[in-house]
Amino acid sequence: MDLEKLSQLFPNIKRVDIPPEDCFTFQTDGRLFAIPETDLTHEQKQLLQALTTTEPIHTSREQAWLDFLHRKTSTPPEEFTQYRFIIANIQDGSIDLDTFRNTLHMMLNRELVLTWKSKNEVVMIEEIAGEPIAFNEMIDVMSDDLKINLKLFISDIQQSVDQMVDYYQWLIKVARAIFPLTGKRIIYQQDSIIHLFPTLFDQNDQQFFISSILKSSIEDRSLIDTIKVVIEHQGNVSSAAKALFMHRNSVQYRIDKFADLTGNDIRRFDHMLQVYLAILLLV
């Protein structure tokens, strides 16, 4: 790349060692350069991305965490009293790490540790010093601002870094398995077993379990959907009816019909559990 021409186009370009905030950073000829974001149009940034090194450029803090999480160092670069991981999956579109980092910083007014795994996966570490970030309140805005379709897998809050590396690797494995299985924008670790359950059985096993538990009710999809909602509302018929925009008596009729067809009384915990797991296999 002709750096002299770049300097003519972007007089504020500068060589750096660490990516500065509010700058687009790229590598060429093994050197790191930064241009203020305000100096670039979207099209110019895309062109620079195409012509320069595509490997993400981490800050020194991020690189230190990346080295620790990949066992290149044995001691975490910082001590967190509490923390959690957020794994972001970018389904449609693409984005560079600088833009992702700067957008998050502007929206959250705090810095997260970002480690870029691939062009569509970034792992964030959130230090919990107060209230955790309410990603459910901002995921739509994040997706719109970044012009991407974003999904998040959010871990439980942890107090110790003793098992942090193993935990990090396990979370990535689980998140990659779950993202294709659900349309939910945000998945929490505590709910992950429900989403992973269908993957534990092969197709033949699934069909036998489904037919054994649901019997002929599988031919009535609206009935199955109603039963699923009732179970998800802890068997509360009135609450389920409200969610389904149905009269309570109509929901109760379907519950009774389901019991007649399958022999399962979803007021009983063991029946409710096996029915719900069978429905998960069905969907």
**Least-confidence region, from 49-53, 125-129, 235-239, 257-261:** 49-53
DSSP state of 154: E
Q: pTM above the 0.75 mark?
A: no
Annotated domain spans of the chain: 3-51, 60-193, 201-282
CB 90 within 8 A of CB 97: no
Integer CA distances (angstroms), 69 to 84, 103, 206, in order: 14, 24, 37
Task: Look up residue 272 and give its two tokens.
Answer: 């409710």
The 10s digit of each residue's pLDDT in 169-214 is 999 999 999 998 888 899 999 988 888 888 888 889 999 999 999 9
Tell me which fold the domain 60-193 belongs to: Alpha-Beta Plaits (3.30.70)
pLDDT category at 103 given cuts 50, 70, 90 is confident
Quick one: average pLDDT of 151-170?
93
Reported residue count of the chain is 283
Q: Provide the CATH number for the domain formed by 201-282 in this structure.
A: 1.10.10.2840
Give 14's contacts (C-beta < 8 A, 6+ positions apart): 33, 34
Query: Rounded CA gap, 126 and 96, in Å?
Result: 20
In the predicted model, is pLDDT for residue 19 greater than 70?
no
| DSSP string computed for 165-208 | HHHHHHHHHHHHHHGGG---SEEEGGGHHHHHGGGGS-HHHHHH
| DSSP string computed for 80-134 | -SSEEEEEEEEEES---HHHHHHHHHHHHSS--EEEEEETTEEEEEEE-SSSPP-
Of 150, 127, 13, the C-alpha closest to 76 is: 127
- Please tell me if the domain spanning 60-193 has the same topology as the one spanning 201-282: no
Please tell me the predicted confidence (pLDDT) of residue 213.
Answer: 96
Please tell me the predicted confidence (pLDDT) of residue 30.
Answer: 63
